[in-house]
């Protein structure tokens, strides 16, 4: 399983637009092949700080989504709303830690 975390910092005057874009894309991401979980989180003190947290069956599934028209369309719309560039991490779960 791949865990993908993306941190977005949205310009203050663009937060409402970003929330609408995220609400629109969320079901499409959840229905993407290989996506088993998506959570969109908004900081309790800074509504411009948004984190997406998703689970993917494989890196190939994640990469297929990132090459999809759903992602390309969403990213082209939300990227101009950023206050700073997005940060993203893809990780695997460690199962046998002491």
pLDDT beneath 70: ranges in the chain = 96-98
Give the per-residue pLDDT at 93.
Answer: 78
pLDDT score for 80 = 98
Query: Do 54 and 29 touch, CB atoms closer than 8 A?
Result: yes
Query: How do the domains of the chain map onto residue ranges?
Result: 2-90
Q: 2-90 domain in CATH 3.20.20.140?
A: no
pLDDT at 43: 96
Taking the C-alpha atoms of residue 26 and residue 92, their distance in angstroms, rounded to an integer, is: 22
pTM: 0.90
């Amino acid at each position: 399983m791949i865990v993908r975390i993306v941190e977005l910092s949205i310009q203050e005057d663009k937060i409402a637009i970003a929330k609408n874009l995220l609400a629109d894309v969320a079901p499409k991401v959840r229905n993407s092949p290989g996506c088993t979980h998506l959570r969109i989180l908004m900081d309790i003190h800074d509504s411009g700080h948004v984190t997406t947290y998703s689970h993917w069956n494989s890196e190939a599934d994640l990469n297929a989504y990132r090459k999809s028209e759903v992602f390309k369309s969403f990213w082209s719309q939300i990227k101009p709303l950023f206050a700073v560039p997005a940060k993203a991490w893809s990780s695997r779960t460690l199962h046998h830690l002491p």
